Structure 1
Amino acid sequence: MAAKTAQERQIAPLETPTDLKPEATKDIAAGLTTLLADMFALYLKTKNFHWHMSGSHFRDYHLLLDEQSDQIFATTDPIAERARKIGGTTLRSIGEISRIQRLLDNDAPYVTPADMLAELRDDNKQLAASLRELHGVCDEMEDVATASLLEVWIDEAERRTWFLFEATRGAQ
């Protein structure tokens, strides 16, 4: 096989070798890319609420949301790299995130602390459901490595949901 020229290398598609079927690569990479958009949306919303927290429980909520945003952000690189490892591609821009994210942004100038926590609780619950759905696709396509990662992220989303639920109990 002849060596490729620099021009051929620049236009060559990203072809990461994998033993997964092409349909699995396509479906799982697409699911991971949508998940990644949701993670970035949730990360930024969590940081937004962290930055704009107020009230009598400011310190506790501020620290809770900082911890949760760090955990959410820590998933982003493994999600993107998993899509690439199986032969797919992933996000390329903030515009792409805004087009495919399923979690809603919150651009309100003021949100009460109770509403912040309740919204993040619901978003994390929705995220856990999306993670489970993608896990089902991975099971069907026999991608145990992605499924294993998803199991950890499901547990993390459930823990965040639990903490946010408990923090909002007194507000109900």
Structure 2
Amino acid sequence: MQTQDKTMPVNIGISEEDRKQIAEGLSRLLADTYSLYLKTHNFHWNVTGPMFQTLHLMFETQYTELAMAVDQIAERIRAVGYPAPGTYSDFAKLSSIQETPGVPKANDMIRLLVEGQEAVVRTARSIFPVVEKVNDEPTADLLTQRMQIHEKNAWMLRSLLEE
């Protein structure tokens, strides 16, 4: 991972090595978030069945929120002095969320999105040790917000599977 142009060094009270670790973690979070965005948007387009209206609207709400989140995460990577990944190949290498081939049934879509939401939470949580060590409150705040949103989304999706 390369740092940004060194014409003006980043001097925010966090060492370059720690900023690099934070940027690497945030890059994984960005890749997971974008992968989940794409999966959720795909499912929004292709969901069918008796829960169509409910799922179509829920998926739209979730992918819209994810679209805004990728910008926040990428901007934080830039703020700590590193370029944000932005290609499908970058995201494929960095993401813990796998693509889903074909068009699954609605209940399978729900299960896959629960798994995706929880994967994003785990990725966000994995960044905390270095963030806390260097008192990077802006990144900690971003991670906390992301975890709250994804844990709530996972709960709401999971509740649709209860009988």
The TM-score, its normalising length taken from structure 2, stands at 0.91
Which position in structure 1 is the counterpart of 2:72?
78
Identify unmatched segments of 5+ residues in structure 1: 1-10
1:131 Cα deviation after fit:
1.0
Give runs of aligned pairs for residues 12-161 of structure 1, distance below 5 A. 12-13=5-6, 15-108=9-102, 110-161=103-154
Identify unmatched segments of 5+ residues in structure 2: none
Aligned residue pairs total: 159
Which position in structure 1 is the counterpart of 2:160?
167
1:17 Cα deviation after fit:
3.6
Q: Which runs of 4+ in 1 moved over 3 A?
A: 11-17
1:137 Cα deviation after fit:
2.3
Q: Percent identity?
A: 28
Q: From the CA coordinates, give the structure whose radius of gyration is larger.
A: 1
AA matched with 1:79: I
Task: Judge which range, 89-98 or 56-65, deviates more.
Answer: 89-98
1:93 and 1:113 map into 2 onto residues whose CA distance is: 29
Render the CA deviation track for 1:39-62: whole Å, top value 9, x for unaligned.
Answer: 110000001111110001100010
Q: Residues 52, 85 of structure 1: CA spacing in aligned structure 2 closer, same or farther, 3 A cutoff?
A: same
1:92 Cα deviation after fit:
3.3
AA matched with 2:106: P
Task: Judge which range, 15-24 or 67-76, deviates more.
Answer: 15-24
Q: Residues 65, 19 of structure 1: CA spacing in aligned structure 2 closer, same or farther, 3 A cutoff?
A: same
